[in-house]
Amino acid sequence: MKNKGTNIKRWIEQDGQIFLKEIGIEKGQTVLDFGCGEGHYTIPAAKVVGGKGKVYALDKDRNELEKLKKLIQQGKIKNIEVINEDSKVPLKDNSVDVVLCYDVIHYEKNRKIIYGEVYRLLKPTGFLSVYPKHHKEDSPLMELAERELNDVKKEIEECGFYLQDKFLKELLHDDYYNKGYVLNLRKRI
C-alpha cells in the first residue's frame, strides 16, 4: 500500500500515543501487549509508560518479534521485554496494569484460555483492552464475521470481567488507519 510506511510512522510517533492515553494507559504502568506482532502498539505504549514503566511484548511468531527487536534497537528503547510464547504468559499473578489484545482474538478458537491468563495477570485495579477485528460490525469481515461485537463482550464477561468502556476510534490496523470498536474490561472481584 502506498502510504504504508507513512501511516506506521505517524502512528508510532504521534497518534498511537494519543490513542493509548485516551484508552487509559498512564505513565509508570506495566503493560502486556498480547499478540504484539511487530509492535505497532508496543512502541507507542513504551513511550506512554516511560522509563518507570514497562511493556511486555508477547507473540507466538518469532519472525514478528525479530522485526520488533530491530525497532527496539534502532530506537534504543529500554523498557520493552520481548516474550516468545503461545497463549501462556510467564508473568506473576496480579502484576500487570493493562493488557492490550488488539486484532488478535479472531486467531484463537479457544479464547477462554487467553482471557483466563489475562484475569490471572491483571492487578485488581487493572484493565483489559480489546480491539476485536473482523466481527459483524467491522470490515473487512473475516474470522469473526458471524459474531456481533456484543457476542465478543459477552464471551469476555463470562470469563470474569465486566465492560467499563466502549470506544469507537480511528486506529491502526496492519499498515492503514481505520475506525474500530475498542472494549475496555475490568475484573469482577
Q: How many CB atoms lie within 10 A of CB 171?
A: 23
- 27 residue type, one letter: K
- 117: contact with ligand SAM by CB under 6 A: no
Question: Residue from 48, 104, 128, 182 that binds ligand SAM (CB under 6 A)?
Answer: 104
- Closer CB to ligand SAM, 62 or 189, in the complex: 62
Q: How many CB atoms lie within 10 A of CB 78?
A: 9
Alpha helices in 11-130 (DSSP H): 16-22, 42-49, 62-74, 111-121
- 86: contact with ligand SAM by CB under 6 A: yes
- 102: contact with ligand SAM by CB under 6 A: yes
- 144: contact with ligand SAM by CB under 6 A: no
- Give, as one character, the DSSP assignment of residue 17: H
Q: How far is CA 45 from the centre of its chain?
A: 10
The helix, strand and coil proportions of the chain, stated in percent and rounded to the nearest 5, come to 35, 30, 35
CB of 30 to ligand SAM, least distance (A): 17
- 115: contact with ligand SAM by CB under 6 A: no
Question: Residue from 7, 12, 31, 35 that binds ligand SAM (CB under 6 A)?
Answer: 35
Note the residues at the interface with ligand SAM (CB under 6 A). Answer: 35-37, 40-41, 58-61, 64, 86-87, 102-104, 107-108
